[in-house]
């Protein structure tokens, strides 16, 4: 049926939402059965140079990695060339983020930030990158308080000027800030990184961005101007 429809319509993109509802009655949790169904379909689409976008939903188990939270068999993600996740912005409920968590043919690209407005959406090309893991984990109130303290420490440390990444991590550890918490604070402050020097003498430098988000505490809420995050590879 899919092949016949493609022959008639000649599309460049096929979207199936949700993918698990169109598996022909097979057990969507059976890896072998799902592969037997998907692999011939994918081969047919490749021959016709048609892209397939399959929509899936997540289960509620936040203890699992994203790969294992997708409804149905793991073969659905494994047979795909790439995977993207769409979620609410960690600091701004009016924004959404589209982040890629799998890409077979190259490295992961930066995330895309957008705002829902009047039935449409507006892309924000200037928004900092947000790793997909920050979209699927919801920090507790206690964790938020810890990140606030880490943000205050990091902002004060870098206000003196750019610093070596290793020096920042060492100072943060002495201040009682874990690497995970430091990473979250770095994202919220949109700290910039760059390589300095060459070869064995090179190092990574951290500095505050001129576009650092301005967090304002008011009535127990956090309001953000130019909200955003930047993925960290050093931590």
Task: Name the CATH code of domain 138-225 (choices 3.20.20, 1.10.150, 1.10.10, 1.20.1260).
Answer: 1.10.10
| pLDDT (mean) for 134-144 | 67
Torsion angle, alpha carbons of 62, 65, 69, 72, to 10: -160
Per-residue H/E/C for 168-180: HHHHHHHCCCCHH
Residue-level pLDDT at 94: 78
pLDDT tens per residue across span 186-202: 877 888 888 888 888 88
pLDDT at 231 over 60: no
Q: How far apart are CA 151 and CA 111, in angstroms?
A: 22
**Domains of the chain by residue range:** 1-80, 138-225
Higher pLDDT, 81 or 219: 81
Which value, in Å, is the radius of gyration of the alpha carbons in the chain?
22
Whether the model pTM is above 0.75:
no
What's the mean pLDDT when you consider all of the chain? 79
| pLDDT (mean) for 212-227 | 36
Contact 54, 72 (CB under 8 A): no
Higher pLDDT, 11 or 121: 11
Give the confidence band of 235 by pLDDT, cuts at 50, 70, 90: very low
Write 148-155 long-range contacts (CB < 8 A, 24+): 149/177, 150/177, 150/181, 150/182, 150/184, 150/185, 151/185, 151/188, 151/189, 151/215, 153/177, 153/185, 154/182, 154/185, 154/186, 154/189, 154/191, 155/189, 155/208, 155/212
* Least-confidence region, from 18-22, 57-61, 188-192: 57-61
Residue-level pLDDT at 53: 92
Of all residues in the chain, the percent with pLDDT exceeding 90 is: 17
| pLDDT (mean) for 30-52 | 90
- Residue 155 backbone class (left: φ over 0; alpha: ψ -120 to 50; beta: rest): alpha
């Amino acid at each position: 049926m899919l092949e016949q429809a493609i022959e008639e319509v000649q599309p460049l993109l096929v979207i199936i939402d949700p993918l698990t509802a169109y598996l022909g009655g097979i057990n969507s949790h059976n890896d072998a059965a799902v592969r037997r169904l998907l692999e011939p379909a994918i081969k047919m689409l490749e021959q016709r140079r048609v892209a397939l976008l399959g929509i899936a939903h997540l289960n509620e188990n936040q203890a699992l990695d994203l790969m294992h939270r997708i409804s149905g068999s793991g073969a659905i993600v494994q047979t795909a060339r790439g995977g993207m996740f769409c979620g609410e912005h960690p600091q701004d409920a009016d924004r959404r983020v589209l982040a890629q968590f799998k890409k077979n043919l190259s490295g992961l690209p930066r995330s895309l930030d957008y705002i829902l407005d009047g039935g449409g959406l507006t892309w924000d090309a200037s928004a900092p990158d947000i790793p997909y893991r920050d979209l699927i984990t919801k920090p507790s109130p206690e964790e938020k308080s810890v990140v606030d303290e880490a943000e205050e420490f990091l902002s004060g440390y870098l206000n003196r000027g750019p610093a070596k990444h290793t020096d920042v991590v060492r100072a943060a550890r002495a201040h009682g800030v874990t690497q995970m918490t430091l990473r979250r604070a770095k994202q919220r402050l949109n700290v910039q990184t760059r390589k300095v020097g060459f070869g064995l003498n090179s190092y990574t430098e951290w500095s505050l961005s001129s576009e650092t988000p301005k967090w304002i505490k008011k009535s127990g809420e956090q309001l953000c101007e130019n909200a955003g995050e930047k993925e960290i590879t050093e931590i």
